[in-house]
Amino acid sequence: MGILEAIILGIVQGLTEFLPVSSSGHLELAKAMLGDESVPSESMMMTVVLHAATALSTVVVYRKDIAEILTGLLKFENNASWRFALYVVISMVPAAFVGLFFEEELEMLFDKNILLVGMMLFVTGLLLFLADKAAKTDKDVGPLNAVIIGISQAVAILPGISRSGATISSSVLLRIDRERAARFSFLMVVPLILGKIAKDVVSGDLAASTTDGGSLIAGFIAAFIAGLFACRWMIALVKRSKLKYFSYYCFLVGTGAVLYVAFFA
């Protein structure tokens, strides 16, 4: 994989990790269009690097919130920060369960499965459209809500289902305040990303990677910068109820993916 391709994939990952249009789905589409023939270990290494970059961009944007949460945990106080951290842990359980026990089945879906991506983008678009119609959103995240949002995050492992779109839409449909919904959605994924990276490193799956170091660095920087921009933009869009525009985009790309399979695959 060359540096230019790595930068393109980095920008795609950085934007779509936060914007509700499915980063995994777009990466599969990008790989298919770029004709990526990387061996599995190389492709995995690049995926891990790009996800690490977007995790770092989330930490940078929410650095004050994360510092406040960590301070609350260290003091062992049953305050808002402690409860928020507890709800984040609860929300991680469904996705962690699916990732641990169905890893091989999931990997089979990530092989330029353009038709599946197109169909799941339609689902993402529908969720966004419905969420934008939600009127009263003034609640905070609670334990039951954390479970439901966590299940939506687990479903979003499928390529084409946007993680941020699914979790934010679920939160808004549960009448959670829009800004809190975005904050919870972006922070709840950071431990999962870091856990997945640690698992891949410990397992030794990345040891055989032949990816060029320059391509990895270029992809990381591109994903990090794009992630900073997309995260801040998404927060503003959620607060202003502008999700429906992304639903139209998902419908459009989903239609294009289905037509591609029908006429060119």
Give the model confidence (pLDDT) of 26-81 as tens digits: 777 877 776 655 444 446 678 788 888 998 999 999 998 888 877 777 766 667 77
Name the residue range of residue 25's domain: 3-263
Amino acid letter for position 202: V
The total number of structural domains that make up the chain: 1
Model pLDDT, residue 249: 94
Residue 135 CB neighbour total at 10 angstroms: 6
Weakest mean pLDDT among 52-56, 109-113, 179-183: 109-113
Please answer whether residues 121 and 258 qualify as being in contact, where contact means their C-beta atoms are separated by less than 8 angstroms.
no
- Return the ∠ at Cα 188 (arms to 187 and 189), rounded to 5°: 95
Residue 229 CB neighbour total at 10 angstroms: 15
- Return the ∠ at Cα 83 (arms to 19 and 98), rounded to 5°: 55
When pLDDT is cut at 50, 70 and 90, the band that residue 196 belongs to is confident
pTM for this prediction = 0.83
pLDDT at residue 234 tops 50: yes
Please answer whether residues 195 and 22 qualify as being in contact, where contact means their C-beta atoms are separated by less than 8 angstroms.
no
